[in-house]
Amino acid sequence: MRTSSTLGIFRRPGAPAGRRFSVGRCLKVLAAAAVIVAALAMLFANQPPGPAIRDDLESVAGALALMPAATEPRAVAAALHAALRGRTITVDADAFPAIVYVTLRGLDKASCAGAVASARRLEGLVVIDLEHFRSAADCRDSNDMTWRLMP
């Protein structure tokens, strides 16, 4: 009788003997999948701050573009807070639908410089324009950055 590293209990009844499923192979596949998932998580978690802020602002612009002109300023502010969950922000929607101001609070110097480089002005259905920061030299250790969103 031939011994093998596979366990017969993992073989489907009626399946040929050469098509056994080994526990070792299963563990290797699961370990490889875990490594891939961890690598992807690290890749997305290490996104530079500038592009991350740009993505957040584009998300806000998309939410703003879908709102009817008659939307109450409180509802606009609530929707934008939901779109920027996880960030400390202030929303001034009193002039909606003409202008909405979104301020990201307490950004560090690297995040500020990244935002100036990649999210200074974004054009689309909603134009997004950064106020007061003309270059990365304007960034300090802690920054409150305001964007004017014009639907």
Strand order through the sheet with 127-130 = 89-92, 100-107, 143-150, 127-130, 121-122
Domain spans, the chain: 8-45, 49-150
Residue 117 neighbours by CB distance under 10 Å:
15
User: N- to C-terminal Cα distance for the chain?
Assistant: 77
Q: What is the pLDDT of residue 23?
A: 66
Residue-level pLDDT at 145: 97
CB 106 within 8 A of CB 142: yes
Check residue 2 and give its pLDDT: 52
- Show Cβ contacts of residue 106 under 8 Å, excluding neighbours closer than 6 positions: 88, 142, 143, 144
Q: Count other Cβ atoms within 10 Å, centred on residue 61.
A: 25
- In the chain, what's the furthest Cα-to-Cα distance? 84
List of the chain residues with pLDDT < 70: 1-23, 26, 39-47
